[in-house]
A and B are shown apart, each in its own frame.
Chain A
Amino acid sequence: MSQFLTPALTGQIINLLAAALLLLSFAMLAQRRILSLINLFAAQGFVLTLSTAFVAWATGQTHLWWSAGLTLALKVLLLPWILHRLIQRLNVKWDVETLLNIPTTMLFGLLLVILAFNLAQPVSALAGTITKGTLGIALAIVLLSFLMMITRSKAVPQVIGFLAMENSLFFAATAATYGMPMVVELGIALDVLVGVIILGVFFFQIRERFDSLDIRHLEKLKEE
């Protein structure tokens, strides 16, 4: 079967998966409902798993299989489940409010994509993997997730933006250098898990204090 996979075809499939990741992060930027946001995040994790598994198969690096499995367990199953339970207990399924309206946010997102593509081009020329074109996409998704964190005014989408950023950093690592050492990966995964649990505790505190998860209430905490 590997004869069927010419290097050109492998590169194209990975490009396609990278483009799907970009599409999903744009969809997250344009999303209004928190429930769909979590589902899109799970979908993003799934595509990430697929691409890691594909790179593992195509290049024969076995530790990438472990990474793929870890991603599947953590980002497609565990974290979305935690987030679902969180929003059910916090009762925050309503519309996401944004600081800028959606068309303007998408326009900014587009400009960020152009910036990221241009910045990544000289770097990806130096990489030696089959997936070097996707470094630009990974950088673009990082910037888009950051934009999502900035322009949302409720806490849960900000956390999802943070998680999406971590997703794309992982993808960048897979694309440019065939993954990180296992130890680093396990460490990052544990950090992310612990971070989400702590943030969940935080949410309850915020909700108790202000009766709402709108982060603009946090501005009242400054010195007057």
Chain B
Amino acid sequence: MLSEFSWAGASAQLTEILLAVLLAPLLLGWVNQCRAWLQNRSGPGVLRPYLTLRKLMAKDAVVAHGASPLFRTAPYIVFGCMVLAAAIVPTLGTDLPYAPAADAIALVGILALARVFISLAAMDIGTAFGTLGARREMMIGFLAEPALLIVLFTASLISQSTSLATTVETLSQRELAIYPSLAFAGVAFTMVSLAENARIPIDNPATHLELTMIHEAMVLEYSGRHLALIEWAASLKLFVYSCIGIALFFPFGIAQGGDAAGLLLALPALAFKLAIGGFLLALIETVSAKMRIFRAPEFLGTAFMLAVLALLIHALLET
């Protein structure tokens, strides 16, 4: 692998990481703006998340008396994990020198690491909300993670590799072919990413009612720059999941190899796909209602069944 290392590839990788970190709040802003339009409101503007981050960074961080060093370091670790995840997912091109360091299974593991750290930080202060949020988040986690793994398995079986870069290369190079297993896997993946990113119908990202919170309950005690980093990490997580979905199911336009021209062409393609994806997400959130918490296992169980069906259909129809 080191023999394939090229400076062009490294600079492409760094560009992609920087782009992900800088554009993730824009995606979040776009989703919120679409939701506002669908609800016939004028909306906060797509740049609102940036202004929120700047406001939060400038404020003092208020930390509870009983907080341990784990509480103060968790936001940095969570942010670092999300940026690492963004480094593995092919967003613009598939020539990623860092890709051999972690494949799809390791990606799921890194996202799990972030989830565990934020749950532990939530339990650190010892309030009822923190532990409530941690318990619910871990429940969503243990239901969604197997479904996500099976979706990635299906894609790996088609491409004979678990490395995301190789998978995307294989899937984008086939001629116009329709894989029914990927259709099933796509539906399952959408359901899983709704759950993992704390979107309706699993969690309401705009709620202020304690008993309907999952993600909000965990970050209730954070303020200032810590909260800014966690919100940034959450928008990065949404970005990463969207890019995984695009890379697996709509990989047209992703540059093969690291040439600058291909990457420049890939950027508008990515922006276009993310815009449509964000609008569809806002649409789903507007037409669905949030489920009560113990319907979430059924929802995620359905996603899991669909993912397993995708695997079986792959075994039946595509081999």
Determine direct contact between A and B, CB below 8 Å.
Answer: yes
Interface residues of A (CB under 8 A from B): 8-9, 12-13, 15-16, 18-20, 22-23, 26, 30, 102-103, 106-107, 109-110, 113-114, 117, 121, 133-134, 136-137
CB pair B309 A22 closer than 8 Å: yes
In the bound complex, residues from chain B placing their C-beta under 8 Å from that of A20 are 180, 183
| CB-defined contacts of B302 to chain A, threshold 8 Å | 30, 106
**How close is B112's CB to chain A, nearest CB, in angstroms?**
23
Q: Least Cβ distance of A85 to chain B in Å?
A: 28
Q: Does B206 contact A (CB under 8 A)?
A: no
Q: How far is the CA of A16 from the CA of B180 in the complex (A)?
A: 5
Is there a chain A Cβ closer than 8 Å to B184's Cβ? yes
Q: Which residue of the partner chain, among B298, B305, B313, contacts A19 with CB atoms under 8 Å? A: B313
Answer yes or no: B312 CB below 8 A from chain A CBs: yes
Contact A26 B178, CB 8 Å, known A103-B298, A117-B312: no
List the A side residues contacting B2 at CB < 8 Å: none
Choose among B176, B180, B298, B312 the residue that contacts A18 (Cβ–Cβ < 8 A): B180
A20 to B183, CA, bound (A): 9
Q: Which of A19, A113, A121 has a CB less than 8 Å from the CB of B183? A: A19
| Closest residue of B by beta carbon distance from A29 | B305
B residues whose Cβ falls under 8 Å from a Cβ of A: 176-181, 183-184, 187, 297-298, 301-302, 305-306, 308-309, 312-313, 315-317
Name the residue in B176, B180, B312 with the highest tally of chain A Cβ atoms < 10 Å from its Cβ. B180
Write the chain A residue with the least CB distance to B305.
Answer: A106
Report the bound CA distance from A134 to B313 in whole Å.
Answer: 10
- Taking a contact as CB atoms under 8 Å apart, the answer to whether B177 and A113 are in contact is no
Q: Residue on A with the closest CB to B319?
A: A133
Cross-chain pairs A/B with CB under 8 angstroms, 26 sampled: A9-B176, A9-B178, A12-B177, A12-B179, A15-B180, A16-B183, A18-B317, A19-B183, A19-B184, A19-B317, A23-B184, A23-B187, A23-B306, A23-B309, A103-B298, A106-B302, A106-B305, A109-B305, A110-B309, A113-B309, A113-B312, A117-B312, A121-B316, A133-B317, A134-B317, A137-B317
A26 and B305 contact, CB distance less than 8 A: yes
